[in-house]
Amino acid sequence: MTIASIRPYGGTPKDTEDKFHGNRILYVGWDRHLMFYAPICFCIPPSMAFADFVAGPLAQAFGDHPQWAQIDWTKANWLRSNQPFSPDGAKSLHDNGLGHKEVLRLQTPDLQGIGGCAI
Amino acid sequence: MDMNAKKKLGLKEKYALMTRNLGWETTYEPMDKVFPQMDYEGIRIHDWDKWEDPFRLTMDAYWKYQAEKEKKLYAIIDAYAQNNGHLNVTDARYINALKIFLSAVPSLEYNAHRGFARLGREMRGVGPQVACQMQAIDEIRHAQTQIHSLSNYNKFYNGFHDWKHMNDRVWYLSVPKSFFEDACTCGPFEFIIAIGFSFEYVLTNLVFMPFISGAAYNGDLGAMTFGFSAQSDEARHMTLGLEVIKFMLEQDPANLPIIQRWIDKWTWRGVRLLTIVAMLMDYMLPKRVMSWKEAWEVYFEENGMALFNDLARYGIKVPDCAALIKKEKDHISHQAWNAFYTAGMITNFHTWLPSEDEMNWLSSKYPDSFDKYYRPRFEYYRQREKEGKRFYNKTLPMLCQVCQIPMLFTEGDDPTLISYRQIEHKGDKYHFCSDHCQHIFEHEPEKYVEAWLPAHQIYQGNCFAEGADPTAPGFDPLKSVLDYWHLDFGRDNLDFEGSEDQKNFAAWRQQATTN
């Protein structure tokens, strides 16, 4: 459908990749850890290695949670756009196919939040 | 001397002369050119004379009523200020509800004024023109009286100092701001369905209840008085909202699907906006009026359904989103407070944990959800506070492209999982909190791709303090963003416990009540 307008109206997207100074937006949520009320919005260079992203910005964001240190990364799953995703830690975010405004969900089946209450 | 005194006009004549007879068929210019915005939304009106005025109010009578109300209101506001009425509120936590009110609502009222002023010009029929002009004046009066009533609090408490500046910038205030900008950029018919019908008619009680009854329950005579002064206007606005929808539906059967889509959209937009009101009712009023869930059941599930039953004869159906809202009513207030409590570093008001008594009240009002999902969260936060580790989330949230609320809502059937929705449009990805926000985007993507999402704007570098250099060594982005918002770190934000507001209120109340 198109917008009801008095003249043709295209709409100019406000958040295209070129506006982020070489970085990309990446959203990450940690399933069943709702101490973090919403998925987090990161702004990251696409050349950063996936493992560095996890050890750096992601750990900084989630590290305050007591279960962060307990994650067994061999059992953790990722979803990208709600579909299973297997990142290669050594490769960059770009080479892992993570485009601008991609959304990742971290799932830790053994850890379901504090007391198993999704906290 | 021939004193040929003229007989006073009767009400009926006065109404005819001062409303209906103010309009005429133009001859120098065709009517379609004089009213150029009447066609592009697809609404067909065949006979504007069929408009029935729900209230036969003429401008002169309107001025008289409003002037009387103003006089009473300002007398009470003065008395309240002179008697230090602010010290009579239940508890200084209550004042934080007013901070949200001031930074969100007068701007909404002002935009409602702009919207109705435009309709007063664009509506082709003289009946709705006059009604919209009156409503435009009402709305600016509401903005003004709210600002005047609350300015008293600014003398004593933090966070009230720059509400207009904050309304245009602070992250969570993009939610009410974008809601009304969406409405103001609609055509005139959609605007009046959005604001006049969906908001003023269907949802208005849910806004009034927490703020105005909330003010009364919590000893805030100032806020209560402007509320009651506005309420008589609201009754007129509701009547206009209902009249307008009936008029449009009766004019042409082709209007039905268009109007139905607008009702679906704006009921959902309105309910999303009311999330903050839900939180306010359940968490921020020291003396509760009723729970959000109870308010929803009375004002929407009972009264709202009666209204939709009434409109069923025109073919109008209950909006689809009602099913999801029914599931969410047990959760949204708790999820919103969880968000603001943990984001308390970037709020222009204080947050706190509910006391044990308050948690018991919440358990009794939310037997199916509070103890299972939310009490454990608050107990964990309490434990952290005791250990001196009060949790503050220092990150920026992912936002819904349409309602602009952080993605804090959970799946209708699983309150432990965030609801993620995503589509691709012209090569870019867009994210939504719900199917309903996604559908709104899909219908008019050109509009919502332009959303000014605070988290993204911060990352684009558009929200730093004036003159700041993000490349300078030691640049602190959070501090610079707070400066840009005019938010004073340590005074306006953080926990209520230990705040300047808390200390001042306690000291002043003691002064006022003891020797």
Nearest CB partner across the interface for A64, out of B41, B391, B431: B391
Check pLDDT > 90 for residue B11.
Answer: no
- pLDDT band for position B212 (cuts 50, 70, 90): confident
How far does A87 lie from chain B, in Å, by closest CA?
Answer: 20
Check pLDDT > 90 for residue B236.
Answer: no
CB contact under 8 A, A4 and B187: yes
Which chain A residues contact residue B42 at CB under 8 A?
A: 4
Which chain A residues contact residue B434 at CB under 8 A?
A: none
> Are the C-beta atoms of residues B459 and B398 closer than 8 Å to each other?
no
> Are the C-beta atoms of residues B405 and B433 closer than 8 Å to each other?
yes
Choose from B395, B410, B443, B448 for mutation: most chain A CBs within 10 A. Answer: B395
Please state which CATH number belongs to domain A21-116. 3.10.20.560
CB contact under 8 A, A38 and B37: no
Least trusted range by pLDDT, from A84-93, B2-11, B84-93, B485-494: B2-11
Check pLDDT > 80 for residue A100.
Answer: yes
Please report the residues numbered 454 through 513 in chain B whose beta carbons come closer than 8 angstroms to any beta carbon of chain A.
455-456, 459-461
Nearest CB partner across the interface for B452, out of A14, A29, A34: A14
- According to the model, what pLDDT value does residue B232 have? 80
Give dist(CA B72, CA B68) in Å, integer. 7
Question: Which tokens sit at B308?
Answer: 């939709």
CB contact under 8 A, A40 and B397: yes
- According to the model, what pLDDT value does residue B96 have? 97
Nearest chain A alpha carbon to B433: A38
- According to the model, what pLDDT value does residue A82 have? 94
Q: How many CB pairs under 8 A join A and B?
A: 146
Choose from A12, A14, A102, A103 for mutation: most chain B CBs within 10 A. Answer: A14
Nearest CB partner across the interface for B446, out of A9, A20, A25: A9
Check pLDDT > 80 for residue A1.
Answer: no
Please report the residues numbered 33 through 62 in chain B whose beta carbons come closer than 8 angstroms to any beta carbon of chain A.
36-37, 40-42
Average pLDDT in the B244-248 region? 94
Check pLDDT > 60 for residue B1.
Answer: no
pLDDT in tens, A25-80: 999 999 999 999 999 999 999 999 999 999 999 999 999 999 999 999 999 999 99
B185 interfacial to chain A (CB closer than 8 Å): no
B430 interfacial to chain A (CB closer than 8 Å): yes
Nearest CB partner across the interface for B395, out of A6, A9, A40: A40
pLDDT in tens, B276-302: 999 999 999 999 989 999 999 999 999
CB contact under 8 A, A14 and B451: yes
pLDDT above 90 covers what percent of chain B? 80
DSSP A27-75: EEEETT-TTS-S-EEEEE-TTSBHHHHIIIIIHHHHTTSTTGGG--TTT
Choose from B259, B459, B462, B481 for mutation: most chain A CBs within 10 A. Answer: B459
B444 interfacial to chain A (CB closer than 8 Å): yes
User: Is residue B133 classed as helix, strand or coil in its secondary structure?
Assistant: helix
Phi, psi of B399 (to 5 degrees): -115, 155
Give dist(CA B397, CA B406) in Å, integer. 6
pLDDT in tens, B436-481: 999 999 999 999 999 999 999 999 999 999 899 888 998 999 899 9
Choose from A7, A17, A19, A34 for mutation: most chain B CBs within 10 A. Answer: A34
Check pLDDT > 80 for residue B210.
Answer: no
- According to the model, what pLDDT value does residue B348 have? 97
- According to the model, what pLDDT value does residue B209 have? 74
What are chain B's domains?
16-329 (1.10.620.20)
> Are the C-beta atoms of residues B117 and B136 closer than 8 Å to each other?
yes
pLDDT above 70 covers what percent of chain A? 99
Placement of tokens 């809502």 in the chain: B409
Nearest CB partner across the interface for A43, out of B408, B452, B459: B459
Q: What is the ipTM of this complex?
A: 0.98
- According to the model, what pLDDT value does residue B5 have? 66
How far does A93 lie from chain B, in Å, by closest CA?
Answer: 17
CB contact under 8 A, A115 and B380: yes
B343 interfacial to chain A (CB closer than 8 Å): yes
Give dist(CA A16, CA B361) in Å, integer. 46
- According to the model, what pLDDT value does residue B7 have? 75
Mean pLDDT estimate for chain B: 94
The torsion of the CA quartet B11, B13, B19, B25, rounded to 10 degrees, works out to 170
Check pLDDT > 60 for residue B482.
Answer: yes
- pLDDT band for position B3 (cuts 50, 70, 90): low
Nearest chain B alpha carbon to A82: B420
Give dist(CA B308, CA B420) in Å, integer. 30
pLDDT in tens, B122-136: 999 998 999 999 999
pLDDT in tens, B367-410: 999 999 999 999 999 999 999 999 999 999 999 999 999 999 99
Choose from B191, B407, B430, B439 for mutation: most chain A CBs within 10 A. Answer: B407
Average pLDDT in the B2-20 region? 78
CB contact under 8 A, B453 and A14: yes
Which chain B residues contact residue A35 at CB under 8 A?
A: 342, 377, 380, 391, 393
pLDDT in tens, B143-178: 999 999 899 999 999 999 999 999 999 999 999 999
- According to the model, what pLDDT value does residue B32 have? 94
How far does B40 lie from chain A, in Å, by closest CA?
Answer: 6
- pLDDT band for position B60 (cuts 50, 70, 90): confident
Question: Which tokens sit at B509?
Answer: 């109340």
> Are the C-beta atoms of residues B451 and B444 closer than 8 Å to each other?
no
Nearest CA to B369 among B329, B420, B409, B339?
Answer: B329
How far does A9 lie from chain B, in Å, by closest CA?
Answer: 7
Phi, psi of A65 (to 5 degrees): -85, 130
pLDDT in tens, B24-34: 899 999 999 99
